[in-house]
Every structure is written in structure tokens, then in C-alpha cells.
Amino acid sequence: MTTFKLPAWTCRNRIEPALVVVHKSRMWENAQMKSILIVDDEESLRVSLSALISRNGYHALTAANGKEALALLQQETVDVAFVDVRMPEMDGIELTRALGKARSPVTVILMSAYGSLDDAREAMDAGAFDYITKPFKSDEVILALTKALQREGTRTDQSPRDSVVAKTIHSGIVYASSSMKQVFSLIEKIARVESTVLIIGESGTGKELVARAIHDQSNRSMAPMVPINCGAIPENLIESELFGHKKGAFTDARADKAGLFLEADKGTLLLDEIGELPLLLQVKLLRVLQEGTFRPLGAQQDMRVDVRVIAATHQNLEEKVKKGEFREDLYYRLNVLPVRLPPLREREEDVLLLIDYFIHRNNQRFSSKVTGITNEARKMLLAHSWPGNVRELENVIERAQVLADGTRITKDDLPSNFQQKENVVRTTLDSDDLSIKKAVRMVEEELIRKALQKTGGNRTNAARLLEISHRALLYKIKEYGIS
């Protein structure tokens, strides 16, 4: 077995250098090698990508444009083609359609330096299997290639899917988007300091996983990380849960209890949904953060602990401070190192990667044999706004995989609310009906439905998002017959 170091090409579309392990015996098994075609009008990218693919045990072919690629296919059999979107004469979308109609259809992975969700959708409509944006890392290329080969029922002994998918996972979070790369770059900087961290993000974005990543990379990783959801415990019990109590401190206190602060000593305590913590307990929490001491219920003496606190919330704590619902001094004490998690709608390039990851994981859990999703289902998933974020996507894929009859998830396997919706505003503007009253009703009803969906039916939070009173929201829900 030999290890090569790939050169760092200096062009703007360079592939970042990587160590690639190659089995010598495989390099000469030309009869079993899969042929990979690279179509790009930039020679530097063709050379670098060809080198990467060859060193991973595949036979690389190159073409400078679409016409050259089609001519080459008259002489060679190709399994997968990496095709640049923007090329002279015949662009990548047009070539993708042509390759799909070839005598032996080719699985296409489109490449672009100008990636957008619209481009991705057009690529899927044209029949492309996957879509990657430049500049890309070598792991991203090999991941896309492995998925494409598996789509054709092909398996490789050098890059099994488990190992490739694992390279896209960081502390249990699957991502490739620049926004999440920035999050983990920040995590690496703050993990080894002792300051408190405030993780801000919508429900389902993975706040606890990020807290775990911070803990695992910290000097406290050998000690426990103890999570508690401040909104899930009744107000009369949460003080005892956090700080513990002595026997007889209250009616049901039949024995001493060590609280979660003591349990997390030398480690990390995650206070999830910190915005739900009662004001009286906020005072006690502030004291622990400032002095490192607390007093259990019914105790006569203070106890000292060494705990790093990570807080998480989906609420706007600054607004709660202005309303007197959250202590200003505690907010500033918690908000030393803020980490904002982007919602899934801001991580559009991660959606397809997450879908593939969940399918792969569920196949192991359920012993199912779903290999992917149809283009129709893919478009519907890409068009969804994901108010429930990654958690919603995970549940949708699990449901669809259980219901799927074949090897691919279809649009019929998705929930009914995923059936492609018309744009209410666009439809209204394009119609001949110029009634402002009707247009306002349509938009208002759609916004209320989205707010309720985003808050999981919580009308108080929905009213806050809509910037109307709770009473006004109840009236409009009744008026529009929204369940």
C-alpha cells in the first residue's frame, strides 16, 4: 500500500491537497476499474480532478467541452461523469440531458463555481444525480462519486460508503455548507477556554449536538456533560434538579439528593432552553457562574463546584430582557461566547447530504434497501422551508423509508403537506382579481399557518413571530378555520 500527497493546484477551482491511500494491486485491475469522465473547459481542474480520481483506483477520462465528451462516449464506456455547468457551445445542463439519452446512460454529477438552489433544481430536472460547488475538497468529490456508483449497484473495496459518509460528520452533525463550517471553526476556538457559551438556534437545529462538540474538544472531555431542558421540568422541581436538596427540605424530600451541578462537577452542564428558567432561579444561577458556589435546598452551608456552563435557547433573550422576563446581568454573563446555529433553510446545500445520510443510517436500523429518492421527491424536499429544521427532515425521511415499496423514496411516500404548493403571492398577483382585501386574506392565512407550523402549534410564540397580539391571533385562527 502506498501513500501519495496530491499537489495544491494554484487555480481558483483547485482541489485542496489530501493524503490518498491507494492499494497497489488495484491500480492494475483495469478490467474492474470504473471509468469516470471529467468535462470542464479549464485544463487545470481537469488535471487535478483526474489525478485525484486516478489515485483512488478509478480510470479517469477527460473532455474539454460537451461535444468532445459525446464523441468520446462513442468509443469508451463511462460509469460516472463530472460535468461543469458553464461551458461554451454546450453547457452542462444540455450535456446532462444528452448523456441521459445515450445508449448507455451515464450518471452525472454537475459542478459549478456559481452554486445556487435554483441551479441544483435545474440540474435535478435535467437528470443529474448530484450537484457539487467549486472549490471542493477531495472528500466531497469521493463522497459524491461513491454515492453515484452505488446508485448503479456498484460497490468498491477501497471506499466503502460507511467510511466516506463518516467523513462528512463532525460530532454527530452532517454538513458541507459554509455556514456550518464557520460554526465548527468557532467551536475549535472556544472549546478549550472556560468561558460560558450561549448557543442560539431554532428548535431542531442541533443545539445539544453542538454543545457536545464543544465539550468533547474541551479539557473537560473526560468528565461528564450533563444536559437539562429548563422548559421541561415543573417550576417547583427545577431548583431541586439543579442544586439538589437535603432530606426533609420539603414534603417529598425523603433523602438527600445531589443536583445536576454536582453531577457535572469538573465537566459541563448544558442548560437547554435557558429562556424558560424562572426569574428567582436566575439569581441563584448567576451566583454559581460568578462565585462557583451554591446552596442545596435545606442545606446550611454552600457547596463549591467546578462546572463549565453552556446555555442554549431558541428565544430572543434580548427581547426577554427588555420585557423584564430575563435578568440582564445573567444574559451578559451567559453571552460571553455566542454561537448562532443557522436553520436548515439557510443550509440548503446540506439538505441532499442529510437525506443521503438518514437513508443510509435507517437502512442499518430497519434492514431496508432504499438506495435513494426520485427526482420528483427530491424537488419537493428541496422546495420545503423546513420549519422543524434537521429534526423534521430526519422524521420525514424515516417515515418515507418505512412506507416506501421500492428501492427509492417517491413523492407519494412524503407527507401530504409536501405536495408542491403554489406560491400564494405570485398566484394572486398573476390573476385578474385586483382585490386587495382578498389578497391580504390569502397572505395573512398563509403566514399564520407557517407561524403555527414553525412553533409547533404554540399560539403565544406564533403571535410573537407574527407581531400581533395573542387575542388577535385567536380571532384570525377562528375566522380562517385553521386547525
Q: What is the pLDDT of residue 227?
A: 92
| Cell matching residue 367 | 434492514
| Cell matching residue 61 | 477520462
Give the DSSP per-residue string, 416-472.
Answer: GGGSPPP-HHHHHHHSS---HHHHHHHHHHHHHHHHHHHTTT-HHHHHHHHTS-HHH
Evaluate whether 58 touches 35 at the Cβ level (below 8 Å): yes
Find all residues with CB under 8 Å of 464, minimum gap 6, and list them: none
The identity of residue 228, as a single letter, is I
Q: What is the pLDDT of residue 321?
A: 94
3-state helix, strand, coil in the chain (%, to 5): 45, 15, 40
Q: What is the pLDDT of residue 119?
A: 62
**β-bridge partners, 293:** 304
List b or e across 333-354, with b for residues whose CB sees 16 or more CB atoms inside 10 angstroms.
bbeebebebbbbeebbbbbbbb
Q: What is the pLDDT of residue 106?
A: 82
Q: What is the pLDDT of residue 17?
A: 34
DSSP reduced 3-state for 168: coil
Give the integer Cα–Cα distance in Å for 409 and 89. Answer: 36
The residue behind cell 433573550 is 317
The full 3-state SS of 366-414, as one line of letters, equals HCCCCCEECHHHHHHHHHCCCCCHHHHHHHHHHHHHHHCCCCEECHHHC
| Cell matching residue 461 | 410564540
Q: What is the pLDDT of residue 154?
A: 37
Stated pTM of the model: 0.58
Q: What is the pLDDT of residue 121?
A: 65
Q: What is the pLDDT of residue 424?
A: 55
Q: What is the pLDDT of residue 14?
A: 39
Domains of the chain: 2-158 (3.40.50.2300), 178-340 (3.40.50.300), 344-418 (1.10.8.60), 424-480 (1.10.10.60)
Digits of tens for pLDDT over the chain (483 positions)?
444 433 333 333 333 333 333 333 333 233 356 889 999 988 888 898 998 888 888 889 999 998 888 888 888 888 899 999 888 878 888 888 888 776 667 888 888 876 555 566 676 777 788 878 777 778 778 888 887 776 654 333 333 344 334 345 666 788 878 888 899 889 989 998 999 999 999 988 999 999 999 998 898 988 889 999 988 888 778 888 888 888 877 777 788 888 899 899 999 999 999 999 999 899 999 999 999 988 888 888 888 999 999 999 999 999 999 999 999 999 999 999 999 999 998 888 788 888 988 988 888 888 788 888 888 888 888 878 888 899 999 999 999 999 888 888 998 899 877 764 545 555 666 666 667 777 777 788 888 888 887 787 788 888 888 888 888 888 888 887 776
Evaluate whether 175 touches 182 at the Cβ level (below 8 Å): no
Q: What is the pLDDT of residue 165?
A: 44
End-to-end CA separation in angstroms for the chain: 63
Angle, CA 183 vertex, CA 180 and CA 188 arms, to 5°: 130
| Cell matching residue 112 | 459549478
| Cell matching residue 220 | 473537560
Phi then psi dihedrals of residue 331, to 5 deg: -60, -45
Q: What is the pLDDT of residue 161?
A: 41
